[in-house]
Amino acid sequence: MLIPKTLQRRIVAALLNGKLPPGYSQEQLEEMFHAFDEPWRSYLDALLYALEEPEGIQRSSFIASFVRLTPADREAVHREAERETYIPALDELEPPQIEWLWEGWIPRGMLTLLGAMPSAGKSYLALDLAARVIAGTAFPDGAPVRQRGPVIYVDAENVPQLHNRRATAWGMDRSQLYLMSPAQNRLMIDLGDEVDRERLLEWAWVRRPALIVVDSLSAISVRGENSVEDVRDLFFFLSRLALDYGCGMLLIHHLRKPGPQLPLPKLLTFYDLRGSSHIATMSRSIIGLHWVQTGPGQDLNAPRRMEVLKTNLCRYPGPLGVTFRSLAHDPDVAELVYGDVPVAGPPPLQAECAAWLLDLLTAQGALPPAQVLALGEPLGFRRATIYRARKILEAEVADTHNRHHPANRWTLVDAEAEPDVMYAESDA
């Protein structure tokens, strides 16, 4: 049994006043004796013994026990004797309602994480959202801006020229965008350091931002991001800052890098975030941004899919498609166009394999599946990849017999063959 030290002092205080504490019998106190910490266990032992003595001796034992208290303990006992424990119920607290900067996506007074691979457009997206908050225009899904106001952009990666060029090309009101770069004579912004924390607090106090963007999480602390101890203090600071100023707090973060031979995943989860799991735990909302490959190859200019990967504040909003479209007056700067999520094409390797399979059957005619597998292996096409490509081509490639037949061949649907020996894959 663990007993709060405040309760231990209160029980001793009651006994010193010559009475049992309210709600406790002497038998209960004797059962609790071994759970007390020193020196309170010794005081309780002496006082319980004194309760069993005659009145005159009892009072002298009380006094003797009290004399053994140190001045600090004596003061604590008197203080606890006058204090009552108050534990409010939820209906007494009346906690405030959740408030939104962007409903369903970015809450006010809490942390929101924006995770994506490098070059996916995280900074572009964050700056576009900042422009909407400053101007008071609608968010990408048409939701209204609940709190219009200035934006503090913590540029920990220190590329003010890039942000300025984009903001200028968009016609953004730059007088309401406050770009925080590393202070003079400092190489980086370190929000684990008191100097930069005070600086950000001062900016927030003076400007009262509707949104603070931190770009990026990996660049704002020298402590790292791989353990709870590395990120807990930083996240407590940022959470309290967002809460005290009632603003949105958008933290840009990176995903784990895939292996050199692994393709980019089709869909993201918050498990793909880099660093300690505490990062995802303390973020109330996590937004993911990822490419949607609509063609056969891997295209870094492909449209993106933006969606909420984690929230415990509301229902999950539907995902959005994001297209980066070059501006006519500045082709090297893109504007973000939002809409429905584009339909993904086949994975690049499968698409490449499907094109190869079509060429192979066109050039050589019907072939046994085993021969196709043997021809594809030197090109890096494994059995599973070839069969997936075959599935993609089910409208163009058919079996000449049942797939278990020893004479079965793969052939083009429009190739010359007897209709009664042609099998669709669904018949196999």
Q: What's the pLDDT tens digit per position in 76-113?
A: 776 766 666 667 787 777 778 899 999 999 999 999 99
Q: Where do the domains of the chain lie?
A: 5-82, 100-339, 348-427
Residues linked to residue 335 through DSSP beta bridges, in sequence order: 325
Q: How confident is the model at residue 426 (pLDDT cuts 50, 70, 90)?
A: very low
Give the mean pLDDT of the chain: 85
pLDDT digits (tens, 9 = 90+) for 234-247: 999 999 999 999 99
**With 60 as the cut, is the pLDDT of residue 73 above it?**
yes
CATH topology of domain 100-339: Rossmann fold (3.40.50)
Burial class from Cβ neighbours inside 10 Å (0-12, 13-18, 19+) for residue 321 reads: middle
> Starting from the edge strand earliest in sequence, which strands make up the sheet with 177-180, in order?
177-180, 151-155, 211-215, 248-254, 111-116, 285-291, 304-311, 320-326, 334-339
Give the pTM: 0.70
pLDDT value at residue 137: 94
Tokens read off for 280: 């995802």
Note whether 24 and 11 are within 8 A (CB): yes
Q: Which of 376, 322, 368 is nearest to 139 (CA)?
A: 322
| DSSP 8-state symbol, 208 | -
Compute the distance between CA of residue 71 and CA of residue 80 in angstroms, rounded to an integer: 14
- SS3 (DSSP) at 288: strand
DSSP state of 412: E
Contact 270, 111 (CB under 8 A): no
Q: How many CA atoms lie within 13 A of 92 on its CB side?
A: 4
Q: Residue 408 corresponds to which tokens in the numbers above?
A: 């079965």
- Residue 211 near residue 129 (C-beta atoms within 8 A): yes
Q: What is the pLDDT of residue 408?
A: 94
3-state secondary structure of 306: strand
Helix and strand element counts for the chain (H, E): 14, 13
Q: What pLDDT, in 10s, does the model give residues 286-327?
A: 999 999 887 766 778 889 999 999 998 999 999 999 999 999
Q: Is 166 exposed, middle or buried (0-12, 13-18, 19+ CB in 10 A)?
A: buried
Q: What own/partner pairs with CB < 8 Å and gap ≥ 24 does 268-274 have? A: 268/115, 268/307, 268/309, 269/309, 270/115, 270/309, 270/310, 272/115, 273/113, 273/115, 274/218, 274/225
Q: Which of 247, 256, 258 is nearest to 225 (CA)?
A: 256
How much is the average pLDDT of 159-175?
A: 96
